[in-house]
Structures are given as C-alpha cells and as structure tokens.
A and B are shown apart, each in its own frame.
Chain A
C-alpha cells in the first residue's frame, strides 16, 4: 500500500502529535506514506470566504502536485480532507470552473484533471484498507478498560465523505472496538466544536465546547479521540477556560486517533506524541492500561 501524504499546516505546528503518530502507525502497519513535495496550505475555511476561485486554485495546486505513481492522497486533517475532496468534485462537476482553475495553475506550469487523485481521510484508510483483520492481528496492547469517546467533528461527515454515515458516523467507534477499547456511543460525536469561533466570540465557542465535554463526561468517557486538529485544539486548549466560565471541573484528555492506535500497536508512548497534549493523558492511560499489567 502506497499513498501520497498531505499533512497540512496544523500537523507541522500545534498538532505535531498527530503527524508523528500518523507516520509511526502507518509505518508499523506496513503502509507507505510519501509526503507530497512542496505542498501548500489548503486555506481551511478562510480562503473560501474571501474568493472562491482563489481558494479552489490554492487547493487544486496540491492535487496537481501528486506524482503519477500515486493514485491516492491521504489527509489526516478533516478540513484538508474536505477541501481537497470538495475541490476535486467541484472541478469534475463544472467544466467552466475546471478551466478557470487550470488557467490559474498554468501560471505555475501545473494542471489538474479531476478524478485523477482519490482523496482519502486517514480514518477511511485505517478502517477500509488496513481493515479489521490486520488491526486485530497487530494489536499488541489491547485498549481494554479504556473508555473512548470518538469525536468526528463536523467536517468528515459532510455528504461527499464516501466512507461513513453522514448523520451518525460509526467507523471510528468500530475501529476502537477492534483494538479492544470500550467505546462510548455518545450523541454529540458529530456536532460542531465551534472551529475558529473562539477568535470571534468566546461565549458561543465555549458553549459549543462545553456541550461536547459534558456529553462525553456524562457517558463516562476516559478520553476523547479526534480526527481533526481544530477539534483537538478547542477541546484540549480551552478546557480550563470552559471550566472557569461554567464552573465545571472537566479533566478529559483529548488525543488523536493515531495516538491511541499506536499505543494499541505497542508503540512507544513518546513516539506517538503522548505528553504534547495540555490536559495530560498519562494518568488515565497508566491507570487503565498499565495497572495490573505490570508494565
């Protein structure tokens, strides 16, 4: 299995734990991820609010950069995944738009034919390509006893995701049961975390974050697992602010999907970025996974 890899900006900075764990896990599972040469930012949601054609062209550049030897591009970030997938679809559906975007790409000597590259989210690759049998086989340290609340956020569940139910996703839930975890089927797992709302209006943003933390806590989750850097940032970095705003005492570590997959595969905790989170995951991981195991 060989994929072109698009880490995205967040994974180079705040969400480095996601990047290191993605690389470590995929290597361990025997899947080759080759980072796209000279990739650029997908523009997240901001570029679209400024100028759609510019936004699409900026995204399409990444698709155009994928070398012929790869037919699939993997993005671990939900926003990158959605933007890349959306651009491919919009270009395929609208020949005029395709021409405009290619005109822009032409200035850099590039062009992109929609449908050439299949954009995949990392969760889809783990769930579908790696699959249940392999993940079960490779599990060295089952996550038994750890109550995981999978949090999908609002971006990978858009109608064109192509791999999971768009209203009530279940793929990450299933994946963690393969790894032996106790999965918490809590109702808000596809609700919005507020995105960049923290920069615009804190009261609204904090309320959205509070709802997610509250529901995960009500369902007695030990950790929340994210597949989007924005979600992880909001739930982790603003947890103490939410606690003081609402007089709560949430203490829920927020990790990335591949960090816990990596732990299950027996990888070194440091190698999958444990410790980079603000609300420390170590105490609960030690308590649930190491107690009695003599590790």
Chain B
C-alpha cells in the first residue's frame, strides 16, 4: 500500500528562507518525490497555525506520514509529534529534517543551500515511509534524590527537597559538609559573616528527618536512568563509630599528633591526626587520618581510644560500599582553586608574603589561624601595604581564558577588611572591574570612598629585587598602569593573588560516571546555556553551583534551588516517559557471544546464562545503536533506526546521483 506523505517546509522567518528558496523546495518535493501527497511551505511551522495546517492535512488528506523540514529536532520534534498525536497519527511516523543548523545557517550560496535542502527533504521522505508506529512506555520515578557535594549549592538543593517532603541522600567527599563557604570570613557585598549564614543550613541538613548525610564518602558508580538510578557510594573508613560518637571532642584534644592542615586552613594552621575540619563541622563525628596517626604509622599511642567515653574509636574500621536507589541526581561538586605556582613570576611559594585568596580568607577569619589578625608570615608584623592582584590564572590564554566572575568582588571585600583591620594602604591591580550584580557596583563605590587604590593593568612580576631605597625589604609590584600609560613599581609588604576558579580535577571522571559531558574548560555542560541551565543532556541528572561554571554564592544558591525545583517536578509527575527508540535482540538468532554485553555504555544488556542468549533491559536502553552495529550476527535491530530506514535515507539524499539520468528533474 502506498503511503501518503505530507511535506512541510518552514521559512523560520528569514533564518531559513534567507538562504534557502523554501517555496521552490516545497514545490519540487510535491512534484518530484514519490508518494508525496501534500507539500507546503509556511512562515513559522512551529506556530499554532503551522501545526494546525499539519493536523488538518492528516485528517483531511488522510496523510500516513509527515516530514517537517525546519530547525533541529532538539527544538521542535516534540511540537510536531504532538501535532501528529492530536490528529490521530502515531508520533513516530513523523520525521524532522534539519535545514536550518545543517543548511541555511552554514551556507553562503543560495543555490547550493537550496539544492542541499532538497536532498535533505528527499532523504526524509524516503526514510519516513519505512518508519513504524511505536508506543512509549512509562516508568515510576523513585521520589528519593541524590545530591553530590555538600557546599552551598548542594545544601540549598538538599534543603529545598527535604523541606518539600522528599528524601535526599547528600554525599560529600570531605569529613564535613559546608564546602568552600565554610572557609570564608565575610561575604560580599553585604559583609555578613559567612559562617553565620551557612552553619544554620548545615545543621538543618544534618538533623533533617528527610536527609541521609553521607560525608567522607565517594561516588563509585551510577547505573540506571531517569526515575531509577542505582548508585554505589563508598563510605571511607572514619575509624570512628558514627553512631556511638557523641562529638565531645576529647579525642581531638588529647591526640598528640599535630599536622599542617592543608585543606580547611589552606596550609596556614594545624589540625590533629583525629579531627573535624572546623568547630561547627556537620557531622561532629571526627575522622582519623591514617597517614599521620601515630597508631597507624608506628603502632603506638591509641590515646583517643583509651580516652573515648563511648568506645567509639574503631581502628579496624574499613571502607564500606552502600547502594542507593534514587530517581534523580543533582551534581553540585564545586570548584578548586588555581595553582598559583603555575605563574612563577608572581612568586607564590618562593616569596613568603605572597598569599593565595583562600589563605587570605583564613587569615581574615576570626576563627582562623591568626584569630582574624592580618599579619605577615612571621605571625606578628602587621603589613603597611597590601597588593591584591586580580585575574591570576583567569582571563589569560596561557591558563584559563574565562573570567572567574567572583574575584573582583572578593578583592573589594579583602580591601575593605584590610582597611578596617589595619592601617595599611591597599592596592588593587585589575584589568577590568566587573561588579555587575545587585549591590556590587555600590560596594565598589564604597571602596573608592574608603580609599582603596586602584591600578588598571596586568602585573608583569612580583619581585624582591629592590632598585630604590624605598623598595628595600619589600615586594615590588611591576606593572603597566594603563590609565597613566606608564610602567609603575609599587613596593608593598603583602600580596594576595586572586586565583581562578577551576573545575574539580576529577570533574570529567564524575561526568563520565553520570553520563554527562564537560566543556573545554572542564565545567559540566548544561542542557541549554540560557533556557535550561540546570538540566543536562542526560534526563534525571542536574547540575548546580560552580561545577557548571564559576559563580558566587547567590548564583550557586539560585541554581541549587532551581535544580531542586526541577527534581520536584519530576517527582510530582510520578512517571517518566521512556522513549520506545530502543534496541531489540532477535533471541532466536543470538549466539550468546556476549560482545554486546560489554560495549553497552548504559549497562542495558544482560546475559541469560540458562538460555545462552543476551537480552536488552528496555528501561535502561537509550537507543544509541552501539550494539546494533557491533553484533557480528546482525541480530540486534534498533527501533526507529533500522537498517532499512537508514538505507532509504541514504538513497534519498543521493537522489540526484543514483536515479537514472532521465528521471532527474533539473534542480532549477
């Protein structure tokens, strides 16, 4: 039986019509392509009038197949499938061909673009005739959610969901939740105390009936798909019994082993071998660092064990692997600071009084190693002048091309703190001052009035090689002042390097586990940079905070809440549609070679040992086609991508080559 195909060519305003003669394409298809019953062009096919045109033709003309030549199916396939459904046609009998991104937007010459559009339409018409009606299935959404990362973005997402009544597993790699924000002293531009606004959220998450906190834990693997993920989490051995410990802190107090704290105190302070990162840590249960613990190193001591009132110390505790079942996952894995040693001419690690911004946060913090006193490395001298260098590793093609976004404001905050706490002169060395959020520009004005000095120019080097008597014993900032148009040398006592925000070093690995990709810089890629900033290309996986790109606290909180809202939407709906575009094994012909088992990126193929054949778990299959092409016996077929459909598409695109010459109608 011959099919009746309807072809609809969209102008997309001038997006397509500016480079493709759409009227001609529609006319040509109607006259020349086999089985085309109707062929029309329209200004905006996605408009309600355009959709109605298709629906009317399906009903009126009895169309059995529909081809829409317009933009990418990513944008409007759903729209046109809905139109087909409305008119009673199975939505999988539609084929959308992209003559915008793949044609009009990438060609300059109208004739060539029109010819290519014809080929694309011809391919779609050939293919659509072999498409089969398919029925989607629906699966229940597990209402529990996994949040990875306990910084401010992850905390916000966790609390939003937990408060809405849904269970959340919050997995954090370090011994406490809180993230970088717990290290900060003040937050810009309001100068409220970072800990004061963060710790209430931390303790709320720690005590919430709907939150299962898994600190000191790592994600091992993620399996499954939206609605039903199975996640393996490795709880690293704390060597302290989580339930027995009351958090009294006697063990920490009595532990004789003191080591430099390179994490929370950024190398400026000390901690014990058994420790919580900071006093307000959540949970209060400490961990034993086996690399520095005297018992683990020399089989002596055990002071903590002897003194623990609840016998909570468990030296023989081992890592434990848990399996979590969740419906959705929010990645909020945060950022890591730029390694300032990679710009050796700034002297970090060589010149004592050059600090990183994270070190300086600890220096300013009243709970930090100097009790909030801003002093030089000697621990007592107050600086008379402080230089703050912007864009260290940011906006620099040799390191990171992007702007880290937060450093201008953090520099202003530091400037304010130095002016408030010391008598020092403060210099900011900036390229451009970027203060474009609510209240930020006002804060910049405030610092101008407070007397912070601003020098516009990129610092070329920081040196201790004095030329003038006033430079003796100082750190000299050599820089071109681009407003004055001259080189300047400014001697100071202390330098703060505002290092870039970089993606976590294992972000790519984490992305692979969850089936999402990273940008060139290593930040997680969102589904759409403007219209879908917290979803990803994998359904059920969301991103929030600085793991998606550098951002400050308000933006991280907003994304955490937005991701939670998206997850709530999924939970409330209760079911997710599973595309019927999946692979299928003809089990009678399967030899059980198991080649497909290992190459499936979604672990969707199982081997049935009893029957000696492989079969596909439809709920997990994404229809990627890897197994279809790998099967040596060609007994796996992909629904919606059958060999027949693809062959027809290829024949269609080559319409002007394969057909006998006499049958070819001139492109003009």
B345 touches A167 (CB 8 A): yes
List residues of chain B with CB within 8 A of the CB of A32: none
A215 touches B344 (CB 8 A): no
Across the A-B interface, how many residue pairs have beta carbons closer than 8 Å? 22
B465 touches A168 (CB 8 A): no
Residue of B nearest to A190 (CB): B345
B461 touches A167 (CB 8 A): yes
A215 touches B465 (CB 8 A): yes
A168 touches B344 (CB 8 A): yes
A187 touches B344 (CB 8 A): no
A187 touches B465 (CB 8 A): yes
List residues of chain B with CB within 8 A of the CB of A186: 465
Which residues 449-463 of B sit at the A interface, judged by CB distance below 8 A? 461, 463
Q: Does B289 contact A (CB under 8 A)?
A: no
Contact with A along B320-361 (1 / 0, CB 8 A): 000000000000000000000001110100100000000000
Q: Does A27 contact B (CB under 8 A)?
A: no
Q: Does B467 contact A (CB under 8 A)?
A: yes
A165 touches B344 (CB 8 A): yes
List residues of chain B with CB within 8 A of the CB of A185: 350
User: With A165-B344, A168-B345 in contact, do A187 and B464 touch (Cβ < 8 Å)?
Assistant: yes
Contact with B along A133-155 (1 / 0, CB 8 A): 00000000000000000000000
Among B347, B463, B464, B465, residue most surrounded by chain A Cβ atoms (within 10 Å): B465
Which residues 175-204 of A sit at the B interface, judged by CB distance below 8 A? 185-188
- Complex formed: what's the CA distance from A147 to B350 in Å? 18
- Complex formed: what's the CA distance from A165 to B343 in Å? 9
List residues of chain A with CB within 8 A of the CB of B461: 167, 187
Q: Does A218 contact B (CB under 8 A)?
A: yes
A218 touches B344 (CB 8 A): no
B344 touches A211 (CB 8 A): no
Set B343, B345, B464, B465: member contacting A211, Cβ < 8 A = B465
- Complex formed: what's the CA distance from A145 to B343 in Å? 30
B463 touches A187 (CB 8 A): yes
Give the interface residue-count category, chain A. 10 to 19
Give the interface residue-count category, chain B. 10 to 19
- Complex formed: what's the CA distance from A269 to B76 in Å? 81
Q: Does A170 contact B (CB under 8 A)?
A: yes
- Complex formed: what's the CA distance from A165 to B461 in Å? 14
List residues of chain B with CB within 8 A of the CB of A187: 347, 461, 463-465
A170 touches B465 (CB 8 A): no
List residues of chain B with CB within 8 A of the CB of A218: 465
List residues of chain B with CB within 8 A of the CB of A188: 463, 465
- Complex formed: what's the CA distance from A221 to B343 in Å? 25
B344 touches A167 (CB 8 A): yes
> How far apart are A28's CB and chain B's nearest CB, in angstroms?
32
Contact with B along A270-286 (1 / 0, CB 8 A): 00000000000000000
- Complex formed: what's the CA distance from A165 to B344 in Å? 9
B463 touches A170 (CB 8 A): no
Which residues 70-114 of A sit at the B interface, judged by CB distance below 8 A? none
> How far apart are B344's CB and chain A's nearest CB, in angstroms?
3
Contact with B along A212-256 (1 / 0, CB 8 A): 001100100000000000000000000000000000000000000
> How far apart are B345's CB and chain A's nearest CB, in angstroms?
4
Which residues 111-143 of A sit at the B interface, judged by CB distance below 8 A? none
List residues of chain B with CB within 8 A of the CB of A165: 344
A170 touches B344 (CB 8 A): yes
> How far apart are B495's CB and chain A's nearest CB, in angstroms?
13
> How far apart are A131's CB and chain B's nearest CB, in angstroms?
22
> How far apart are A113's CB and chain B's nearest CB, in angstroms?
30
A211 touches B463 (CB 8 A): no
User: With A167-B344, A168-B344, A170-B344 in contact, do A211 and B467 touch (Cβ < 8 Å)?
Assistant: yes
Contact with A along B434-478 (1 / 0, CB 8 A): 000000000000000000000000000101110100000000000
> How far apart are A281's CB and chain B's nearest CB, in angstroms?
24
Residue of B nearest to A207 (CB): B467
List residues of chain B with CB within 8 A of the CB of A167: 343-345, 461
> How far apart are A159's CB and chain B's nearest CB, in angstroms?
9
Residue of B nearest to A212 (CB): B465
> How far apart are A162's CB and chain B's nearest CB, in angstroms?
15
- Complex formed: what's the CA distance from A188 to B460 in Å? 13
List residues of chain A with CB within 8 A of the CB of B467: 211
Residue of A nearest to B460 (CB): A167
List residues of chain A with CB within 8 A of the CB of B344: 165, 167-168, 170
> How far apart are A204's CB and chain B's nearest CB, in angstroms?
13
Residues of A within 8 A of B (CB): 165, 167-168, 170, 185-188, 211, 214-215, 218
Closest 6 CB pairs of A and B: A168-B344, A167-B345, A187-B463, A215-B465, A187-B465, A168-B345
Residues of B within 8 A of A (CB): 343-345, 347, 350, 461, 463-465, 467
Q: Can you show 11 pairs from A to B with CB atoms below 8 A apart?
A: A165-B344, A167-B344, A167-B461, A168-B345, A170-B344, A185-B350, A187-B347, A188-B463, A188-B465, A214-B465, A215-B465
**Given A188-B465, A211-B467, 19 other A-B contacts at CB below 8 A?**
A165-B344, A167-B343, A167-B344, A167-B345, A167-B461, A168-B344, A168-B345, A170-B344, A185-B350, A186-B465, A187-B347, A187-B461, A187-B463, A187-B465, A188-B463, A211-B465, A214-B465, A215-B465, A218-B465
